[in-house]
Amino acid sequence: MSATAGLKQASREDRIESLLSARLFLEPQLAGERLIFISSISGQLSLHSMDVGGSVPEPLLPPRIALQNPELVGGYSFYVDPRNHQIALMIDSDGDENYKPFLVPLDGGFPQPLASEFFRDRRSHLLDFDPKASVAYFAAESREESLTTVVRVQLETGEVETVGESKYGAFLAAWSPDHTRAVLADGYTVGDTILYEPDGQGGRKLLFGTPLEDRVEGTDYPPQGVRSPHYVESGNGLLLVSSVVEDAGSFGFLAFERPGEIEPVAIEGIRHEGAGELEGLAHLEGDRYSIQYNIDGCSWAYEARFDEPGRHLSVERVVVGEGDLSGGVLHGLQYEEESGRFALAFC
């Protein structure tokens, strides 16, 4: 190999190495005038904070603690609890992926176990959190049998309440604003799920899909791709995304009084063009939702308002996809209701 060829090869390797060594800034959340996020700036994934207006990132955890890639955790890696000036955080033991919940002060410190007696022998996932009530929902997987239990935890007191359990997942799908009701999902294969509401006594009310034990041999049960369900403001049903109408995903409404029937929901005001899929939606406040698409490999996010009687979504603004926030991929989008601001990671 000539000296010139060797230099060209080294130059290509240097460019690749520089791309691979780029620091990660993932899953940001607002806490007043501070941003809390996961970053590899310390050489490993850990929790950091900085001023909203820009400042030097500050570590919030001891250096011996490394966090898992948020894409692999299954749920949230952390969630800010502003009412109690703390952060709920999922940590495993030296990469064994047996995650357990901990609490750490908003300014950083040593994580303290949350409800350790319940979570001790379980692999858990932080599924959702209500910052107004300081209520968190976890899926806790038994390490002794095929059983997942969904629990509702008061972060202020550590009180644990069982919502439901199943050997097919029992993942939280949606919860009512007053936390008196919840919808769970059992999953069999990709896109093949059922939705049901536990009755608190070991039974359930089926809302959508056919349970495995009720299926007739030889009958086809096509996957419906139901995802991202949310209680609507009236409490009369769920706004969700499914593949019932379009394989790439479309919006639908599931009324509690008509289980098994997903009504189509129209949307207007979309600005993107190209091919892709509807990734999901998240509830902001009232009748407002954020919507995310993957179009030609790039992220688009909108803020939209839902008209329940008209079964209609109206886009009010583009959050990601235009200007400086175009041609890239989202790695976290969070809304702070108190200030009306979004925090996002984009590359």
Q: Is the pLDDT of residue 86 over 60?
A: yes
Provide the domain count of the chain: 1
Work out the pLDDT band at 170, boundaries 50, 70, 90: confident
pLDDT of 1 higher than 70: no
Residue 262 is assigned to a structural domain of this protein? no
Look at residues 303, 310, 270 and name the one whose alpha carbon lies nearest to residue 288: 303
**Residue 10 above 60 pLDDT?**
no
Would you say residue 29 lies in a domain? yes
Mean pLDDT to the nearest integer, 236-263: 95
Query: What does the alpha-carbon distance between residue 120 and residue 186 come to, in Å, rounded to a whole number?
Result: 24
* Residue 232 falls inside a structural domain: no
What residue has token string 């999901």? 280
pLDDT at 23: 87
Q: What is the mean pLDDT of residues 25-52?
A: 96
Residue 90, in any domain of the structure: yes
Is 206 within 8 Å of 213 (Cβ atoms)? no
Closest by CA to 279, choosing from 296, 289, 292, is 292
Asked if residue 49 belongs to a domain, the reply is yes
User: What is the rounded CA–CA span in Å between residue 73 and residue 90?
Assistant: 8
Cβ contact 78:89 at 8 Å: yes
Asked whether residue 205 is domain-assigned, the answer is no
pLDDT of residue 197: 96
Judge contact between 92 and 77, C-beta under 8 A: no
Domain with residue 53: its CATH number is: 2.120.10.30
Beta bridge partners of 220: none
Per-residue pLDDT of 64-75, as tens digits, reads: 999 999 999 999
pLDDT for the residue numbered 340: 93
Contact 335, 282 (CB under 8 A): yes
The predicted model scores a pTM of 0.91
Q: Is residue 6 part of a domain?
A: no
For the chain, how long is the longest CA-to-CA vector? 77
Number of residues assigned to the chain: 347
Structural domain including 100 reads 22-167
158 falls within a domain: yes
